[in-house]
């Protein structure tokens, strides 16, 4: 009888250790998943902010730069490409932000990439409008409004995607 009691005690202890291990392992895996999701959310947030900020800075540069803007035909039948004097650093910031967004937004809500494409197109349209006037402050209101509207649309799409991921407000996935 003592052997059975010792065996039952040993089995009970081992079962308790195993159960504790399984519960702890599950909690650790859940915590790891939450942390990985937060890292993805943060990376997207940084990419979205960088993309929007680069475009806002570029808009201001287009509107205030005393340098000339000329239009260059690069594709037959397509719109001309604006070339802006002394805008190398602005173009570099735009291209870096666009590349980061393209990589990091894989799996993002489709609205984000659509809004990003519209924002880029609006900036090109604004630069084309600037090429048609001689003074920096002479660009019409409509291309400026369109560029600002595209910025706002991108910001809303980005925020919506971050909310979907749980970056803002409550998350449906981790109970926070």
Q: What is the per-residue pLDDT across 100-145, written as a single tens digit (0 to 9) for each?
A: 999 988 888 889 999 999 999 999 999 999 998 877 778 889 999 9
Q: Render pLDDT for 145-165 as a digit per residue (tens, 0 to 9).
A: 999 999 999 999 999 999 888
Total-model pTM: 0.76
Give the whole-angstrom CA distance, residue 174 versus residue 176. 6
**For residue 85, is it within any domain?**
yes
Q: Render pLDDT for 62-80 as a digit per residue (tens, 0 to 9).
A: 998 887 888 999 878 888 8
pLDDT greater than 70 at residue 36: yes
**For residue 98, is it within any domain?**
yes
pLDDT band at 175 (very low <50, low <70, confident <90, very high): very low
Which residues span the domain enclosing 143?
A: 42-165
Give the whole-angstrom CA distance, residue 78 versus residue 44. 32
Residues whose CB is less than 8 angstroms from the CB of residue 167 and which lie 6 or more positions away in sequence, other chains included: 41, 42, 44, 45
Give the whole-angstrom CA distance, residue 82 versus residue 147. 15
**For residue 25, is it within any domain?**
no
**For residue 28, is it within any domain?**
no
**For residue 5, is it within any domain?**
no
What's the pLDDT score for residue 167?
Answer: 57
| Closest to 133 measured CA to CA, from 59, 60, 65, 57 | 65
**For residue 59, is it within any domain?**
yes
Q: How many domains does the chain have?
A: 1
pLDDT greater than 50 at residue 172: no
77: domain CATH number is 1.20.120
**For residue 23, is it within any domain?**
no
């Amino acid at each position: 009888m003592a052997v059975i009691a010792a065996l039952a005690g040993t089995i009970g202890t081992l079962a308790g250790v195993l159960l504790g291990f399984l519960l702890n392992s599950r909690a650790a895996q859940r915590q790891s998943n939450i942390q990985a999701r937060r890292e993805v959310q943060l990376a997207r947030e940084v990419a979205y902010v960088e993309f929007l900020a680069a475009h806002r800075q570029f808009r201001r540069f287009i509107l205030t730069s005393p340098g000339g803007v000329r239009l260059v035909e690069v594709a037959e039948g397509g719109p001309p490409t604006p070339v802006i004097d002394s805008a190398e650093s602005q173009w570099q910031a735009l291209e870096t932000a666009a590349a980061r967004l393209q990589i990091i937004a894989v799996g993002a809500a489709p609205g984000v990439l659509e809004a990003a494409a519209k924002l880029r197109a609006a900036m090109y349209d604004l630069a084309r409008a600037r090429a048609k006037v001689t003074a920096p402050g002479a660009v019409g209101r409509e291309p400026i409004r369109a560029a600002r509207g595209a910025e706002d649309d991108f910001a809303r799409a980005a925020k919506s995607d971050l909310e979907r991921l749980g970056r803002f407000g409550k998350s449906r996935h981790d109970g926070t």
